Structure 1
Amino acid sequence: MKLKIISWNVRGLNNPEKRLVVKNLLRDWKCDAICLLETKLGVMSRSLVGSLWNFPYLDWVALDADYTSGGILVMWDRRVLEKVEDMMWLYSVSIRWWRVVEGFEWACSRVYGPNEDSLRSLLWDE
């Protein structure tokens, strides 16, 4: 079975009308995992995540935006992918999953970093 993953720079989810557009597209696309970049949301709540992709097998991790820039939300269907662990850094989210049907483990990383040269070193600097 092929895994269907969508990665999308949504450029903000503050507007309820935009969230409705995202929700309708995600329903139509029938994905197994979704990564939304540049959410621009300082706090990601269960109710907000559910308003985007609401079904009983939803799991998710989020990296909150820094004021009004950045923000990463990764959501997946627990029937397809089981989270082994996740790790978040200043501008990235990494998840190690167990692929339930085929029984193998793999990882996914998403990065959304600054465009200022003075801040780019923070992408890899410890």
Structure 2
Amino acid sequence: MELSIISWNIRGLGKLEKLVAIRRLVLQEKPKILFIQETKLNNFTPVILRGLRCFQKFEKIFSPAVGSSGGLLTIWDPEFFTVTESLSFRRFIAIIGHFRGGQFMCGLVNVYGPSTDTEKLDFFREVLEFLRNHRVAWCLGGDFNAYISCEEKIGSAFNLANMELFRAFISEANLIDLPLKGGGFAWSNNKEVATFVRLDKFLVDDNFLVNFHELNQNLLPKSISDHNAISLVNKGSAWGPKPFKLFNYLMELDGFEEVVVESLKQQKQRNNRLGILSLLKGTKSAIRVWTGKRNILQNGVIPQLEAKIF
């Protein structure tokens, strides 16, 4: 199946030039679903509604800003995605349904994570609980206001605690961070001594990947916001599910090598004639079990948080 979703932190939707920028982006990229963060709107005026008519037909779900901060908007083509349930929260909104031509149920979540460190734990815990309460394939996109590794930031200090927290969330939710094509960072402070961070991204689970075999996550050119828009595109080619996928950071964790070696050893003991694909499949399962059980936050940065999250 084909798929095209765009996520963009627009930094305010109340001005005409922002509406024009969104219309231009939709005409160029032709997405069927649009995630917008930081609308900074408390409600929709007729001007905003007219300005957003960049789809021939569209439906929407909206989470208002708190004062002049935040605000989320998801727009979709109802002929492409049929929504059976929609839910709105302060920092994320979700639509659950199925794509045209597909029968599998999936959830699409538009996310705007808190920038304040003290709010991040509750945010990730709330999203994780929501995902666990709905048995569908998941695709999350937006501005998480967090990064996974030091490679996702240039300039200023690293926040190791927040990195570990984001990693723990991704691991517990069984999500996959697809490689970003077209660049490495989606936000910059545009100062003389600049800071670049990959705050914006899509995360998907295995069930979503099984149905969209050729997913690409792309960094789109920056225009009117200090955030780049991100697109998630599936070309529609069916090559079968990806046999194995692994986060680079997992290989740096203590105990990873031992898990792999022990898994291979046990599989060979059970059946010495296993081929490479069977060995990889068994090892992948062992890694997933290990990451699920491992106290990923036990390295002294925030040792007491795992129980609170999970």
TM range (shorter): 0.7 to 0.9
Q: Which residue of 1 aligns with 2:9?
A: 9
Unaligned stretches of 5+ residues in structure 1: none
Distance 1:49 1:31 in 2: 18
- Report the more deviating stretch, 40-49 or 4-13: 40-49
1:75 is displaced (CA, Å) by 0.4
- Indicate the percent of aligned positions where both proteins have the same amino acid: 29
Q: What is the letter of the counterpart of residue 117 of structure 1?
A: D
Q: Which residue of 2 aligns with 1:89?
A: 89
Residues 1:91 and 1:115: Cα distance change in structure 2 (over 3 Å): same
The answer to whether the 8 Å contact 1:91/1:111 transfers is yes
Unaligned stretches of 5+ residues in structure 2: 130-310
Q: How many residues align?
A: 126
Distance 1:19 1:92 in 2: 21
1:45 is displaced (CA, Å) by 4.5
Distance 1:25 1:96 in 2: 25
Distance 2:103 2:73 in 1: 25
Q: Note the aligned Cα RMSD (angstroms).
A: 2.1
Pairwise mapping of residues 22-37 of structure 1 onto structure 2 (< 5 A)?
22-37=22-37
Q: Which residue of 2 aligns with 1:72?
A: 72
Distance 1:115 1:41 in 2: 18
Report the secondary structure of 2:19's partner residue.
helix
Q: What is the letter of the counterpart of residue 15 of structure 1?
A: K
Distance 2:80 2:106 in 1: 13
Q: Which residue of 2 aligns with 1:18?
A: 18
TM-score of the superposition, structure 2-length normalised? 0.38
Q: What is the letter of the counterpart of residue 71 of structure 1?
A: G
- Structure that is richer in helix per residue: 2
Q: What is the letter of the counterpart of residue 100 of structure 1?
A: R
TM-score of the superposition, structure 1-length normalised? 0.86
Q: Which residue of 2 aligns with 1:43?
A: 43
Report the secondary structure of 1:21's partner residue.
helix
Report the secondary structure of 2:82's partner residue.
strand
Q: What is the letter of the counterpart of residue 64 of structure 2?
A: D
The answer to whether the 8 Å contact 1:41/1:71 transfers is yes
- Structure that is richer in strand per residue: 1
Residues 1:28 and 1:68: Cα distance change in structure 2 (over 3 Å): same
Q: What is the letter of the counterpart of residue 83 of structure 2?
A: K
Distance 1:105 1:47 in 2: 34
Distance 1:93 1:105 in 2: 17
User: Larger Cα Rg: Structure 1 or Structure 2?
Assistant: 2
Poorly superposed stretches of 4+, deviation over 4 Å: none
The answer to whether the 8 Å contact 1:26/1:53 transfers is no
1:108 is displaced (CA, Å) by 1.1
